[in-house]
Every structure is written in structure tokens, then in C-alpha cells.
Amino acid sequence: MSIAEDTGSNAQLFIVVFAGDPIDLMEYRHTLLYLAGYDATTNRGTPQSSPSESGEATSKETLQNSSATAGTIFQVSGAHGFFTYEKEPLSEDMSLTPGFQRQIPVSTLTAQQAVDFEHICEYTPVNNRERGWNCQSWVGDVLQRAVEQGVLRVPDVDKAVGALADCLLEATAGNSL
């Protein structure tokens, strides 16, 4: 795949978390990777407004007050034994999707890093053998590979994974404190 010589724009990588289905348990929370400002169909940056300039996790309320950002989502979906990799363009506000919990910033990527990140997502294996493996595992595998290949920095990933862990622990079902 090739990239335009001068896209002049960066893409923002996020981890997005949705409530568990059918019940909101930590292990059922769906996670995906969202590359805002990147169109995987053309390998180009797209004009965007950043939902979170502060680097903090973005809540539903904050996103509803900002404009929707075009980009691409990368995820695995399904159930044990039937997980599949999916890459989809996104042009709507994910915070309006039922079950949306949080959008966690990871890093800003250059155009070339975004292309490299897309390739990492495409070539990160989907594990349908291990019972405990799920979309959360895949997100972790992708982030680890991106660090190993120099696309992401360890401090950025560590901060995002910490915020992801906090969000997963906020699952409402089964909490009897």
C-alpha cells in the first residue's frame, strides 16, 4: 500500500470501550482501536477535530459536544472459536452508539505510522484456540507489536492501558461493594 506524499495531517489513536453484552462484566466489555483522522481505504489522513486535546479519556458527554471525527476502527468481534478481524471506516460519533463507555487516547501518529499501524492490526493473529482470549487480548497484542516495531512509545501505551484497566474495572454487573 502506498501513502500520499504530502497528507500533512496526523491521526489520533484511541482505545474505545463498550459495555459488556449481554451483561456488563469486565470480561465482556468490548474494546477496539480507533484511528481518528485516518481513512484506511485510501491510506490518507482525513480532516478532523480532535475529541480530546488534553490527552485524557473522553466521556460520552464530551464527545457529544464535539463534532464527529472520520476515521477507521480496527477490532476483532465474535465469540470464543469464532473471532474475526474487522476493519471499517467510521464517519459517525461512536459516543452515540449504545453501550459506549470511554474513548482513551493512546498517541498521535504520523501518516506513515498510521499506515504501519494498519498493517500491524491486519497481521496480528486472531486466537480462536484459547478460551480466555478476546477483543481485549487482541488490543493488547496489537499495542505490544506496535511498540516492538517502533510505531508507539512505551509510556503512551502504558498510560492508555492503565486507563483501559480502570474502565474495565468499572463494569457494573457483579459489583457488590
The phi and psi torsions of 86 (rounded to 5 degrees) equal -135, 140
Residue range 47-73, pLDDT digits in tens: 443 334 444 454 443 333 333 458 999
Side chain identity at residue 176, one-letter code: S
What's the whole-number mean pLDDT along residues 28-42? 92
| Percent of the chain whose predicted confidence (pLDDT) is above 70 | 78
CA dist list (Å): 174 to 25, 94, 164, 170:
7, 26, 18, 10
Confidence of residue 17 (pLDDT cuts 50, 70, 90): very high
* pLDDT computed for residue 175 by the predictor: 58
Q: What is the pTM of this model?
A: 0.81
Query: With contact defined as beta carbons under 8 Å apart, do 45 and 11 qualify?
Result: yes
CB atoms within 10 A of CB 96: 11
Query: With contact defined as beta carbons under 8 Å apart, do 169 and 161 qualify?
Result: no
What's the whole-number mean pLDDT along residues 19-28? 92
What's the distance, CA 142 to chain centroid? 10
